[in-house]
Amino acid sequence: MILDSKIPEGYSLAEVWDNHKFNVKLVNPANKRKYDIIVVGTGLAGASAAATFGELGYNVKAFCFQDSPRRAHSIAAQGGINAAKNYQNDGDSVFRLFYDTIKGGDYRSREANVYRLAQVSVNIIDQCVAQGVPFARDYGGLLANRSFGGAQVSRTFYARGQTGQQLLLGAYSALNRQIAYGKVKMYPRTEMLDLVVVDGKARGIVVRNLITGKVESHSAHAVVLATGGYGNVFFLSTNAMGSNATAGWRAHKKGALFANPCFTQIHPTCIPVSGGYQSKLTLMSESLRNDGRVWVPKTVEIAQRLRKGEITVNDIPEGDRDYYLERKYPAFGNLVPRDVASRNAKLVCDEGRGVGSSGLAVYLDFADAIKRDGQPAIAAKYGNLFEMYQKITDENPYERPMRIYPAVHYTMGGLWVDYNLMTTVPGLYAAGECNFSDHGANRLGASALMQGLADGYFVLPYTIGDYLAKMPYDKVPTDHPAFVEAEQSVKDMTDRLLSIKGKRTVDDFHKELGQIMWDYCGMARNAEGLAFAKQAIRKLREEFWKDVKVTGVNEELNQTLEKAHRVADFLELGELMVTDALHREESCGGHFREEYQTPENEALRDDENFAYVAAWEFTGVNGEPKLHKEELKFENVKLTQRSYK
Amino acid sequence: MDLTLRVWRQKDRNAAGALVTYPVKGISPDMSFLEMLDVLNEDLLIRGEEPIAFDHDCREGICGMCSLFINGRAHGPEKGTTTCQLHMRHFKDGDTITIEPWRAAAFPVHKDLVVDRSAFDRIQQAGGYISVNTGGVPDANAIPIPKSVADKAFDAATCIQCGACVAACKNASAMLFVSAKVSQLALLPQGKTERKTRVENMVAQMDKEGFGACTNTGACAAECPVGISLENINMLRSEYILAKATSENL
């Protein structure tokens, strides 16, 4: 198989997308109603795609596992959305957003995709404002911006600390309008459990109704997966409890290659773990690093006295504090990219200078900002985040610094897609976090919202028409053998899970998998640990299929069974992540191999041997996946060692 | 700490339900309420009993999926807090805690503590949007919006659609929920074009779904976890009167 990114050749970077839009085939308005499109997932990418397809005239079926499309986890994104509007007159441009994103991703993403993302970013803001998204504004009534990690301009649009919520509600309202018009049929509380491929093309999905347990088939001319990331492989992450990889993973087993699975983002500012009962981790928006200063005690001795409770944080004089990000990276200071901030937090904690009872935390201190701007100004910017912190920790961040620690937050890897966002299965598209396309080895803050809405509003509506225009109108009936077979395999898997009646709960397995992933495939990785993890996951997976305990029956609302399906997939995906991390013998972005680092402990890339996308082909559950490489060409940026000093 | 839970168990929409008592032991005050239920569910699973079904997803207080009527209060005793953000430090060792689903005719029970809130989605579909297609919109800064107006619209827009307002209301009225969306869009210049048809259609759908009438008790706003203000209900009323007086919904 040769991976063809299908980037139109012969154009300058700035002309690629415009020319592509002109060259793609169109479906005339009267014929659009003859095509059916399935969209799985209703976050920013899925809801915006489904709504826009409906507006164009296609017949859309949209699916989500939550009780309403508005609950998708995009809703929890806090800080903001980037766009190259240059409203602040501070030197921003489409090229600068493109450049920052390529560099922030440590040169492991496609130039043409990222440039297109930067181009359409400006349209997204216009669209959202027209929908009634209440972005923050200045007193003159125009839109306000804030700065974010990995950039030296203010290009982030925001709605207090709830930007994801407001953007998703905008997309949800557009979706609702199409549901009311009858162009979109919405299926909430419905989970996709298999992809149906007929004559090599994606022609539908098999779903389970989560209320009745009924397994049903849906046929269409194209299928879009917008099902988010796979951070929950780690059990503890900032993802929602229900976020899962099942749709994408089952598509992978049906032929869609999975790209760069080891590229996971560990977000530097999360509330630290407090106990073994912990079910998830909570993010504190990166925007806090605009005003908060990150520090730990200068010496191990002070940190030890602090952890023992002999002194409190406010007893530590200024001279005994190490503002390590400002010290090491004077140009970017506390606003270095996420991977750099996370790794440095781990470094100081590994040195024994961490704080909190576990020693796995660093301070994020607002004392100086409060002194400078006053408490009301800080509350206006971050009030809801401070409240959330206090609710969880019972500590007042206005009076003492927040304790933070990195946590799994986002996955840059995902289904491999070409420039049209089509996977290696014709007719199957992947959008948003579900695909691998735009963030390379590290995503910059406020870029996930941008990518989700870019894919859904402004990319897929063009590229999907190019595919559909070549498709016959005929529908594949759901009694076609491919549907019958897929339904049967879903039912068989459910029966198998219910019949084991073992002794260990699904969560128990999930927690053990998460611990293996965090210890060996987390912020720092090495060959020995990864090799061990691979065997440990295989063993755990074997045990899962012998000893898992799933109660109840299929024909009911059965949350244990839902989870069992998802964890069964995590147990396979986890191994692929480890395999990918083991094969990539370099460090880049969020993938830090201890064997490959500079003398200053920065990630050491190997552009000669690893400037490619690693796309893996499924060969069987216990088989070795097959590696396909898509070489990355850099014609508009110079590959350099990233420096934020 | 050790607690006694009385939990509503109901097999499905048509079955009769009942409160069942469960003791739970060794609960940490730093646990969230839902983590406490996770602990109980793991115990039930190990014993081969069916775990308690409840809705939850983000566990950050923003998705609106979690619910629970705890000791007679929507989302429990803490003001401005969803159940997922409620921590056990607000309870005492030895407490008995009663946990029920949202109770409203328009929110039928699916199972145990899980209810059907799709009526809310249908109200949103009746008019909770501005009719713009993707593309072809003016520049985002083309229409300045006074900061005070934008902030007010934002406050209304933060509704998480959890349904606590309905559960807290003795009439199971959805007025606070509907008013939040009506206000947000009526305040913004982009939403003014459709303000009359929007309020008429959303209110009509609200009535059709079987929610009760509003008698201004204010229980909804008192229990709202994100602080949606009663002012929105005032605005809904004036929008509704204006719309009816000069109806465009022919």
**What type of residue sits at position A478?**
T
CA dihedral A424, A429, A433, A438 (to 10 degrees): 70
Interhelix angle A44-56/A460-468, nearest 10 degrees: 60
Which of A73, A175, A177, A186 is the best mutation test for B, with the most CBs of B within 10 A? A177
A108-157 confidence digits (pLDDT tens)? 999 999 999 999 999 999 999 999 999 999 999 999 999 888 889 999 99
Specify the DSSP class assigned to residue A433.
G
pLDDT confidence bin for B51, thresholds 50/70/90: very high
The pLDDT, as a whole number, for residue A161 is: 85
* Residue in chain B lying closest to A184 (CA): B125
What whole-number percentage of chain A has pLDDT above 90?
Answer: 93
Whether B137 sits inside 8 A of A125 (CB atoms) is: no
Among B57, B171, B61, which Cα is nearest to B114's? B57
B228 Cα to chain A: minimum distance (Å): 14
What average pLDDT does the structure give for chain A? 96
Dihedral class, residue B75 (left if φ above 0, else alpha if ψ from -120 to 50, else beta): left
CA dihedral A542, A543, A549, A555 (to 10 degrees): 0
> Could you tell me the CA-to-CA distances from A545 to A504, A516, A548, A573 in Å, in that order?
11, 18, 6, 15
B185-215 confidence digits (pLDDT tens)? 999 999 999 999 999 999 999 999 999 999 9
B39 Cα to chain A: minimum distance (Å): 7
A143-189 confidence digits (pLDDT tens)? 999 988 888 999 999 998 899 999 999 999 999 999 999 999 999 99
Specify the DSSP class assigned to residue A454.
I
Torsion sign (Cα): A461, A463, A465, A467: negative
- Quick check: B61 contacting A, CB < 8 Å? yes
C-alpha radius of gyration, chain A, whole number: 24
Using CB atoms and an 8 Å cut-off, which of residues 203-242 of chain B contact chain A?
A: none
State the span(s) of chain B assigned CATH 3.10.20.30. Answer: 3-110
Which of chain B's residues have a Cβ under 8 Å away from the Cβ of A503? Answer: 46
Number of Cβ atoms within 10 Å of the Cβ of A619: 10
- Mapping DSSP onto H, E and C, the string for B183-205 reads HHHHHCHHHHHHHHHHHHHHHHH
Asked whether the beta carbons of B107 and B116 are under 8 A apart, the reply is yes
- Quick check: B96 contacting A, CB < 8 Å? no
Domains, chain A: 269-337+361-403 (no CATH), 481-611 (1.20.58.100)
Phi then psi for residue A531, to 5 deg, are -65, -40
CA dihedral A215, A212, A507, A405 (to 10 degrees): 90
The pLDDT, as a whole number, for residue A76 is: 96
Whether A123 sits inside 8 A of B50 (CB atoms) is: no
Using CB atoms and an 8 Å cut-off, which of residues 138-157 of chain B contact chain A?
A: 138-141, 143-147, 150-151, 153-154, 157
What whole-number percentage of chain A has pLDDT above 70?
Answer: 100
User: Which of A66, A142, A557 lies nearest to residue B141, judging by beta carbons?
Assistant: A142
State the span(s) of chain B assigned CATH 1.10.1060.10. Answer: 117-245
Which of chain A's residues have a Cβ under 8 Å away from the Cβ of B144? Answer: 137, 140-142
> Would you call A317 helix, strand, or coil by DSSP?
coil
Give the sheet arrangement for strand A201-209, strand by strand.
A190-198, A201-209, A215-219
pLDDT confidence bin for B250, thresholds 50/70/90: low
A189 is catalytic: no
Q: Is the pLDDT of residue B38 over 70?
A: yes
> Would you call A76 helix, strand, or coil by DSSP?
helix
A517-575 confidence digits (pLDDT tens)? 999 999 999 999 999 999 999 999 999 999 999 999 999 999 999 999 999 999 999 99
pTM (global) more than 0.90: yes
- Quick check: B56 contacting A, CB < 8 Å? yes
Which of A168, A273, A510, A559 is the best mutation test for B, with the most CBs of B within 10 A? A559
Burial (CB count <10 Å: 0-12, 13-18, 19+), residue B204: middle
Find tokens 């006295």 and name the residue: A305
A52 Cα to chain B: minimum distance (Å): 6
Which of chain A's residues have a Cβ under 8 Å away from the Cβ of B110? Answer: 211, 557
Pairing of strands A428-430, A222-225: parallel
- Quick check: B60 contacting A, CB < 8 Å? yes
What whole-number percentage of chain B has pLDDT above 70?
Answer: 99
The pLDDT, as a whole number, for residue A439 is: 97
User: Which of A76, A138, A177 lies nearest to residue B129, judging by beta carbons?
Assistant: A177
- Quick check: A492 contacting B, CB < 8 Å? no
Phi then psi for residue B144, to 5 deg, are -65, 140
The pLDDT, as a whole number, for residue B89 is: 96
Tokens of A425: 């299965």
What average pLDDT does the structure give for chain B? 97
Pairing of strands A156-157, A81-82: antiparallel
Burial (CB count <10 Å: 0-12, 13-18, 19+), residue A330: exposed
Q: Is the pLDDT of residue A426 over 70?
A: yes
CATH of domain B3-110: 3.10.20.30
Instruction: Please spell the DSSP secondary structure of B92-141, one letter per residue.
Output: -TT-EEEEE----TTS-EEETTEE--HHHHHHHHTT-S----SS----TT
Number of Cβ atoms within 10 Å of the Cβ of B80: 14
Instruction: Please spell the DSSP secondary structure of A98-161, one letter per residue.
Output: HHHHHHHTTS-S-HHHHHHHHHHHHHHHHHHHHHT----B-TTSSBP-B--TT-SS--EE-STT
B80 Cα to chain A: minimum distance (Å): 10
Instruction: Please spell the DSSP secondary structure of A194-225, one letter per residue.
Output: EEEEETTEEEEEEEEETTT--EEEEE-SEEEE
Which of chain B's residues have a Cβ under 8 Å away from the Cβ of A165? Answer: 62, 158, 160
Q: State the average pLDDT over residues A597-615.
A: 94
User: Which of A76, A279, A461 lies nearest to residue B63, judging by beta carbons?
Assistant: A76
Dihedral class, residue A525 (left if φ above 0, else alpha if ψ from -120 to 50, else beta): beta
Calpha distance B151→B158 (Å, rounded): 11
B62-83 confidence digits (pLDDT tens)? 999 999 999 999 999 999 999 9
Tokens of A366: 């607002």
Which of chain B's residues have a Cβ under 8 Å away from the Cβ of A130? Answer: 130, 132, 137-138, 190
A287-300 confidence digits (pLDDT tens)? 899 999 999 999 99
Whether A76 sits inside 8 A of B60 (CB atoms) is: yes
> Would you call A435 helix, strand, or coil by DSSP?
strand
Give every CB contact of residue B16 below 8 A, 6+ residues apart in sequence. B10
The pLDDT, as a whole number, for residue A498 is: 98
The pLDDT, as a whole number, for residue B248 is: 67
B102-123 confidence digits (pLDDT tens)? 999 999 999 999 999 999 999 9
CATH 2.20.28.10 fits B117-245, yes or no: no
Query: Catalytic pick from A110, A293, A338, A541?
Result: A338
* Residue in chain B lying closest to A210 (CA): B110
Q: Classify the complex by whether its ipTM is higher than 0.95, answering yes or no.
A: yes
Using CB atoms and an 8 Å cut-off, which of residues 3-22 of chain B contact chain A?
A: 11-12
Which of chain A's residues have a Cβ under 8 Å away from the Cβ of B35? Answer: 277-279
Q: State the average pLDDT over residues A96-115.
A: 97
Phi then psi for residue A629, to 5 deg, are -115, 135
Whether B128 sits inside 8 A of A176 (CB atoms) is: yes
**What type of residue sits at position A129?**
V
Calpha distance B5→A155 (Å, rounded): 50
Whether B146 sits inside 8 A of A141 (CB atoms) is: yes
Whether A188 sits inside 8 A of B185 (CB atoms) is: no
B40 Cα to chain A: minimum distance (Å): 11
The pLDDT, as a whole number, for residue B216 is: 95
pLDDT confidence bin for B249, thresholds 50/70/90: low
- Quick check: B245 contacting A, CB < 8 Å? no
What's the start-to-end Cα distance of chain B, in Å? 62
User: Which of B45, B133, B151 lies nearest to residue A551, judging by beta carbons?
Assistant: B45
- Quick check: A541 contacting B, CB < 8 Å? no
A567-579 confidence digits (pLDDT tens)? 999 999 999 999 9
What's the start-to-end Cα distance of chain A, in Å? 42
